[in-house]
Amino acid sequence: MTEKYGRSFIGKVALVTGGSRGIGEGIVRRLVSDGAAVAFTYSSSEEKAMRLAGEIKDAGGNILPIKADSASAEDVRAVVDQVAKELGELDIFVNNAGILIQGGVDRYSLEDFDRMLAINVRAAFVGIQAASEHMKGGGRIILIGSVTAVRTAFPGSSVYSMTKAALTGLVRGAAIDLAPRAITSTMSSLVRQ
């Protein structure tokens, strides 16, 4: 399969947060098809996660599904440590996990605000810290953003848009901080469908 896209990640280890469905599932499938050993996290989609892992294993891929709550800094750190222990040092870290809790800024609850920040921003920060401790030179850190960081397209998305805009600043700073170790940090802004 690796010849289809002209690149090979054979011998590489990747971790994708929020990888059981949607964009995350697509990223997991692509990395596996390019030859990487891939771990991915899921929180509530256990059936989908196990189905995905089973399909990949049946096709000969190296896959490790891990249940974790991205709102928990301890869970995020533990996942990275587990992946490094079971699969080896990380080459690729993709922070894809995120949530959208809609609500107008004038009536948005502080509890929902804190949960969105924890999952959409703090988990990315903690993930970058933890992954970089287990990452080889030449490693890649990728944050999945959103076009809503610069173009809020619908009512009730102000807090979500803010969290995605925060990732823009985080990824730029991480790129500078990790450059001496030859670790790149970038963001992909995808549109969820």
Catalogue the active-site residues. 160
Are the CB atoms for 135 and 177 separated by under 8 Å? no
Residue 79 Cα distances to 8, 68, 130, angstroms: 25, 7, 9
- Residue whose entry in the numeric block shows the structure tokens 């287990």: 134
DSSP H or E segment with residue 81: helix 73-87
- The neighbour count for residue 124, using CB atoms within 10 Å, is 29
Angle at 167 between CA 183 and CA 26, to 5 degrees: 75
Are the CB atoms for 128 and 185 separated by under 8 Å? yes
Q: For the residues of 114-135, what is the DSSP string, one character each?
A: HHHHIIIIIHHHHHHHHHHHTE
DSSP H or E segment with residue 114: helix 110-117
